[in-house]
């Protein structure tokens, strides 16, 4: 394959896993980022070319990505890195991918759809966990019940964290909750709803979270009402709601900087052994206006290992010209069975005939105060 892939932020925890996975798949990506020493060390180890540049000056970014067929952005927080790289890719005709999971970032990329179509550029964000599994599950459920008007997704087993992931969580502390209603993203309080969900090992408490699936699932399915849940210990629900009340203070720059420095000083990311023991589970349910429901769940390997594989495979498809220009989500680009092509991913489905029928996999949601 002669087409060139540039991985920006390749030396971070997740970026490193992705770069190694790309080499294992026979690709020879160009490694990029703003830290020369980290890049040089990584490029020497992997035997790859590298480029050192920041994202502050548009003309510099365009010059660095202009000869690449695709850019895979692994440098979080994506609230700071996505826009300059998307702008450069649209100017140079370069396909853009990332592993973002923030609603605001994904909505901003989606807004460039027509512009990308005119430029012949693919914009394919969110090609890691959790969006690939949830996006594919959402598309599968919509195909099972095309009349669906409501979609709920939930995630369990997020027990391993990299520094980049935790920094994104820190940024999210200053934001309220979010759901999609009538096709529009709506702000709600933190932990707005609670629900007991069976991921395959008995019901667990979960709360609504403002994660990227609120954005992507709508574009993948067209379902106008979307809620996303994550499991939490029962005692944590009240704490999350109190955190939401403190959002203005947690969003202050000095507080954010302090928390991110703490992450850098104390978090290095899970080891290979820890990842090998980690399993994640995803649940989804659609419902139509007549009360018919369809539910399904996925079991996946560790979130970071799966991200490395889904991101590289997505980039490979982009390099092969398999993805249409414009904004895409993983499921709209590759279909609902894309996630099943990765070792260790299993899908199980259960049909609910009516809202009051037997065999349910999740309880009713209850709104918070």
How would residue 181 be classed by pLDDT, with cut points 50, 70 and 90? very high
CA 87 from centroid of its chain's CA atoms: 20
Over residues 132-141, the pLDDT tens digits come to 999 999 999 9
Nearest alpha carbon to residue 298 among 98, 101, 138:
138
pLDDT of 323 > 70? The answer is yes
| Per-residue confidence (pLDDT) for residue 51, from 0 to 100 | 97
Best CA proximity match to 203, nearest among 34, 21, 363 = 363
223 Cβ neighbours under 8 A, 6+ residues apart: 138, 142, 148, 149, 150, 151, 217, 286
pLDDT digits (tens, 9 = 90+) for 40-53: 999 999 999 999 99
Under the banding of pLDDT at 50, 70 and 90, the label for residue 92 is very high
Both tokens of 266, joined, read: 């104390």
Tokens read off for 299:
């079991």
Q: Give the start-to-end residue ranges of the domains of the chain.
A: 5-128+305-334, 131-302+339-367
Identify the sign of the CA torsion 108, 110, 111, 115.
Answer: positive
Strands 280-287 and 293-300: antiparallel
> What would the pLDDT profile of 277-315 be if each residue is shown by its tens digit?
889 999 999 999 999 999 999 999 999 999 999 999 999
With tokens 């979080």, the residue in question is 76
Average of per-residue pLDDT across 88-110? 97
* Residue 367 pLDDT grade (very low, low, confident, very high; cuts 50, 70, 90): low
pLDDT of residue 326: 98
Give me 201's structure tokens.
Answer: 């090992």
pLDDT of residue 358: 39
pLDDT of residue 271: 84
Task: Report the alpha-carbon distance of residue 97 to residue 100 in Å, rounded.
Answer: 9
17-35 per-residue burial string, b: 16 or more CB within 10 A, e: under 16: bbbbbbeeeebebbbbbbe
Query: Does the domain spanning 131-302+339-367 belong to CATH 3.30.360?
Result: yes
CA dihedral of 109, 325, 342, 99, whole degrees rounded to 10: -20
- What element of type H or E holds 347? strand 346-352
Match 């709104």 to its residue by tokens. 367
Per-residue model confidence (pLDDT) at position 274:
84
| pLDDT at 170 exceeding the cut of 50 | no
77 falls in which pLDDT band (50, 70, 90)? confident
- Burial grade of 174 (CB within 10 A; 0-12, 13-18, 19 or more): middle
Fold of 5-128+305-334: Rossmann fold (3.40.50)
Mean pLDDT for 245-267 is 52
pLDDT band at residue 275 using 50, 70 and 90 as cut-offs: confident
């Amino acid at each position: 394959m002669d087409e060139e892939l540039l991985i920006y932020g390749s030396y971070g925890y997740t970026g490193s896993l992705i770069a190694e996975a790309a080499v294992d798949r026979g690709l020879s990506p160009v490694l990029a980022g703003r830290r020369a020493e980290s890049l040089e060390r990584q490029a020497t180890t992997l035997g790859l070319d590298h480029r050192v540049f920041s994202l502050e000056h548009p003309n510099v970014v365009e010059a660095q990505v202009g000869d690449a067929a695709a850019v895979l952005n692994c440098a979080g927080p994506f609230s700071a890195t996505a826009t300059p790289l998307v702008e450069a890719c649209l100017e140079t005709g370069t396909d853009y991918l990332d592993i973002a999971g923030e609603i605001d970032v994904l909505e901003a990329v989606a807004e460039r759809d027509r512009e990308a179509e005119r430029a012949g550029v693919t914009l394919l964000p969110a090609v890691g966990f959790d969006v690939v599994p949830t996006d594919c599950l959402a598309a599968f459920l919509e195909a099972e019940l095309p009349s669906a008007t409501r979609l709920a997704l939930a995630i369990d087993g997020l027990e391993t964290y990299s520094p980049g992931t935790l920094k994104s969580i820190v940024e999210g502390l200053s934001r309220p909750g979010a759901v999609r209603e009538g096709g529009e993203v709506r702000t709600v309080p933190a932990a707005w709803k609670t629900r007991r969900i069976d991921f395959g090992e008995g019901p667990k408490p979960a709360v609504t979270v403002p994660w990227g699936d609120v954005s992507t699932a709508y574009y993948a399915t067209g379902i106008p009402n979307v809620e996303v849940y994550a499991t939490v210990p029962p005692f944590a629900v009240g704490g999350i709601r109190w955190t939401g009340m403190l959002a203005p203070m947690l969003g202050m720059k000095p507080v954010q900087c302090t928390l991110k420095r703490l992450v850098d000083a104390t978090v290095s990311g899970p080891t290979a052994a820890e990842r090998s023991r980690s399993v994640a589970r995803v649940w989804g349910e659609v419902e139509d206006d007549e009360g018919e429901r369809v539910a399904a769940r996925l079991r996946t390997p560790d979130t970071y290992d799966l991200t490395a594989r889904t991101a590289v495979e997505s980039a490979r498809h982009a390099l092969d010209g398999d993805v249409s220009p414009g904004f895409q989500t993983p499921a709209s680009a590759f279909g609902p069975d894309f996630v099943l092509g990765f070792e260790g991913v299993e899908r199980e489905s259960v049909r609910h005939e009516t809202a009051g029928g037997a065999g349910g996999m999740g309880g009713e949601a209850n709104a918070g105060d």
